[in-house]
Amino acid sequence: DVKVTQSSRYLVKRTGEKVFLECVQDMDHENMFWYRQDPGLGLRLIYFSYDVKMKEKGDIPEGYSVSREKKERFSLILESTSTNQTSMYLCASSLGQGYNEKLFFGSGTQLSVL
Amino acid sequence: AQSVTQLGSHVSVSEGALVLLRCNYSSSVPPYLFWYVQYPNQGLQLLLKYTSAATLVKGINGFEAEFKKSETSFHLTKPSAHMSDAAEYFCAVSEGNNDMRFGAGTRLTVKP
C-alpha cells in the first residue's frame, strides 16, 4: 500500500514564526498536493505539484509556498504564520497518469498558531 | 473551475437504516467524481469513484453511488447503516487537470 507520511501530527507555533510541513510518499507518485481542512469548509487546495521542481497554485495559495526538490518529498512553507492559518493540513499524492487517479492521504498535521 | 456542493453538514441515522448522503457537482467538462471517507484522527480514504464506465458505482463497505448527469448529482447510499460507518464523508470532482476539488463534508452519525 502507498504510504504518505507527514512529519508532525501536532504543531503549536506563535504568530510570525516560520513553519515547514513535510510530506513524503513512498510509491514514486508524480503528483503531490497540500490541502487545508476546516470545519464547514471541507478541504481546500493550497498548492499542488505534478513533477519535481514544478508547482501550481490551488484555490488559497496566499500566505503559503511550497518546495519539491525530490519526487518523494513535498514541503509546505508558512513564511510568517498568522492565527487564521490554524488548521488541519493534509498532504496527498497520486500516480499522475490521468485525471481519474485516486488520492492517497497522509494522516494530517494539526497546526495551532497562537 | 469545478466545484461540489454537499447538502447537509450532518446526517443522523439509526443502525440498520438507509444512508443517503447528497452531492451535486458543477463542471465544464465530463467530470470524474469521488467519495472519500475520513475516520477520526485519520486521513481520507477512497470509497468509490466514477469514471464514466457505469453510472452506478459500487464501493467498499457496501456503499454505492449513482451518477445522474441530468441532475448533476452523485449521491452516496448504503442500504443498512452500521455503527462503524460513523465518519465524515467528502464528495470530490476532478476535470483532469491534476487537481481535485472537495465538498464541505457530511458528518454521519449512527444511533444504536
Q: What's the pLDDT score for residue B28?
A: 80
- The overall average pLDDT reported for chain B is 92
Tell me the DSSP string of chain B.
Answer: --EEEEE-SEEEEETTS-EEEEEEEE-SS--EEEEEEE-TTS-EEEEEEE-SS-SEEE-GGG-EEEEETTTTEEEEEESS--GGG-EEEEEEEE-SSS-EEE---EEEEEE-
> What is the C-alpha to C-alpha distance for residues A111 and B20, in angstroms, rounded to an integer?
33
The band of B98, judged by pLDDT with boundaries at 50, 70 and 90, is low
pLDDT tens sequence across A65-84:
999 999 999 999 999 999 99
Question: Which of A97-101, B76-80, B108-112 comes out lowest in average pLDDT?
Answer: A97-101
The band of A98, judged by pLDDT with boundaries at 50, 70 and 90, is low
Residues of chain B in contact with residue A68, where contact means CB-CB under 8 angstroms, are none
Residues of A with CB under 8 A from a CB of B: 4, 31, 33, 35, 40-45, 48, 50, 56, 58-59, 90, 92, 96, 98-100, 102-103, 105-108
The band of B88, judged by pLDDT with boundaries at 50, 70 and 90, is very high
One-letter amino acid at A38 equals D
pLDDT tens sequence across B75-87:
999 999 999 999 9
Q: What's the pLDDT score for residue B60?
A: 92
Residue B49: name the closest of B29, B81, B23 by CA.
Answer: B23
Q: Is B32 in CB contact (< 8 Å) with chain A?
A: yes
On the question of pLDDT at A99 being above 60, the answer is no
Tell me the average pLDDT across B34-49: 91
Q: What's the pLDDT score for residue B19?
A: 98
> What is the C-alpha to C-alpha distance for residues B96 and B88, in angstroms, rounded to an integer?
25
On the question of pLDDT at B97 being above 70, the answer is no
A84 phi and psi angles, rounded to 5 deg: -75, 0
On the question of pLDDT at A102 being above 90, the answer is no
- The overall average pLDDT reported for chain A is 92
Contact between residue B72 and residue B28 where contact means Cβ atoms under 8 Å apart: no
Contact between residue B92 and residue B7 where contact means Cβ atoms under 8 Å apart: no
C-alpha cell at A78: 508558512
Q: Cβ separation of A43 and B90 shorter than 8 Å?
A: yes
Residue B96: name the closest of B36, B40, B28 by CA.
Answer: B28
